[in-house]
Amino acid sequence: MSKTASFRAFAGIALVGAMALGITACSGGSSAESTGAAGSDGELTTIGFVAVGPEGGWRTANEQNIQDSFSKENGFDLKYAPATNGDQNSQITAFTSFIDEGVDAILLSATEATGWESVLERAQEAEIPVVLLDRGIEPNDTSLYTSHIAPDNVGISASAAEWANAQFPDGANYVVLEGPPGLSVVNDRNKGWDETIDANMKKLESQSANWSTEEAKSVFETILKANNNDVQLVFAQNDEMGLGAALAVEEAGLKPGTDVKIITIDGTKAALTALSEGRLSFVAEYNPLFGDTAIDVVKSALAGETVESDIVVPSVTFDSPEAATEALPTRQF
């Protein structure tokens, strides 16, 4: 594979050289810089990015960060292929065409965890390293990919549960707002929470609100009525649902933050703003900005070095309006 790469680089230089000659021949005294810039163009590493596409604030930030990191300035030519309407088939199609094009490496954020074995094997045969971003695959066969870079969902929700335990030492009634059932993210976030949360905390209900603010609002208004407003804590598995729950709380004439405390995961600007206003109580970041880590991994993989198969992206938590206010001005997503 490195052979192909060097051959390409050579061909590129030759081509650019020829073009440069042509340009000089035509325009006479053209500047030397243009030739230099074109020269770097020829050495670009092509990366195929099989992405999820617009889904929400977190995803947009993540994919923008990846695209910004793998820039031409950094020596990459990134081909961005978002899924059409979250359809796995369109992702598999994009993935195989990247293999056929012979890209140097593939980044994959899978919409669904299962069903990737055969295409990953094809990439392996073509000696193209595959780096999984954010979402993992199932069954998690580490031999099929180079590395999986993601924040640790289990750890993050565990830290949220720890905060909840500290807030309600005498126990409380709580509700979980989940993503669509069956997703690995949802399973992991449930796992971290359920393992850590104290036994005196009573789970009233766990409902899916499909990551959506609107659905979360509608679901939570009914949960409040079903329990005569006797809910002290909401664990929303993403920011959007947490914001929906906050709206429902306000609609019911209660005060989010005092009457009902809301925990969310992701840490988007919208959530931090709400936290700074006291409408949310705890925001655990699920750090989307790991483009630089991804670059390092791709570079080492292409250089033939061994890469760790599971890389955890460090994430922080925000537990007070002050912390949120402080973080907001520099928040990128």
Partner 1 sequence: MSAPTPPRASIPRSGARQFAVSVVRQPYIWAVVALLLLIVINLIKDPGYLGISVNATTGNLSGNVIDILRASAPIMMIAIGMTLVIATRGIDLSVGSVMAVSGAVSMEFMNSSGDGSVGGAILAAAFAIGISAVLGAVNGVLVSIVGLQPFITTLITMLAGRGLAKVITSGQNTSASNEPFRWIANGTVFGFPVVFVIGAVIVAIVAVLIRRTALGLMIESIGINPKAARMAGIRPIGILISVYIVSGILAGIAGIFSTASVMTVEVAKTGLSAEMDAILAVVIGGTSLAGGKFSLTGSVIGALLIATLDKTIVFLAIPSSATPAFKALVIVVICLLQSRRVRALFNQRRAPRTPSAPTAPAPTAPRTTRKETVSA
**Local structure of residue 256 (DSSP, 8 states):** B
User: Does residue 193 contact residue 161 with C-beta atoms inside 8 Å?
Assistant: yes
Judged by CB under 8 A, the residue of 9, 20, 24, 60 near partner 1 is 60
75 touches partner 1 (CB under 8 A): no
Nearer to partner 1, 56 or 278 (CB): 56
The residue count for binding partner 1 (CB under 8 A) is 40
d(CA 46, CA 105): 7
22 touches partner 1 (CB under 8 A): no
Parallel/antiparallel/unpaired status of strands 282-285 and 201-208: unpaired
Query: What SS3 state is found at 47?
Result: strand
Judged by CB under 8 A, the residue of 194, 215, 277, 296 near partner 1 is 215
Judged by CB under 8 A, the residue of 127, 141, 195, 251 near partner 1 is 251
Stretch of 18-26, 82-90, 112-120, 147-155 contacting partner 1, by CB under 8 A: 82-90
Residue 209 phi, psi dihedral angles, 5° rounding: -120, 20
d(CA 288, CA 267): 9
153 touches partner 1 (CB under 8 A): no
Nearest residue to 60 (alpha-carbon basis) of 134, 170, 158: 134
213 touches partner 1 (CB under 8 A): yes
| Tokens linked to 31 | 């500047």
202 touches partner 1 (CB under 8 A): no
194 touches partner 1 (CB under 8 A): no
d(CA 99, CA 124): 10
x-marked contacts with partner 1 along 160-189 as a string, rule CB under 8 A: ------------------x--xx-------
Stretch of 26-34, 35-43, 132-140, 252-260 contacting partner 1, by CB under 8 A: 252-260
Find the shortest distance in angstroms from Cβ 286 to partner 1: 16
d(CA 196, CA 191): 9
Find the shortest distance in angstroms from Cβ 244 to partner 1: 6
Angle (CA) 109-111-117 rounded to 5° is 80
d(CA 320, CA 323): 5
Nearer to partner 1, 53 or 192 (CB): 53
Judged by CB under 8 A, the residue of 70, 95, 211, 318 near partner 1 is 211
- Exposure string of 17-52, with b = 16+ CB inside 10 Å and e = fewer, is eeebeeeeeeeeeeeeeebeebeeebebbbbbbbbb
Find the shortest distance in angstroms from Cβ 263 to partner 1: 18
Stretch of 152-160, 161-169, 244-252, 299-307 contacting partner 1, by CB under 8 A: 244-252
Q: What is the DSSP string of 69-84?
A: HS-TTTTEEEEEEE-G
Find the shortest distance in angstroms from Cβ 133 to partner 1: 17
Judged by CB under 8 A, the residue of 24, 93, 165, 218 near partner 1 is 218
| Tokens linked to 280 | 């949310």
Contacting residues toward partner 1, per CB under 8 A: 53-57, 60, 84-86, 178, 181-182, 204-208, 210-215, 217-219, 221-223, 225-226, 240, 243-244, 247, 251-254, 270
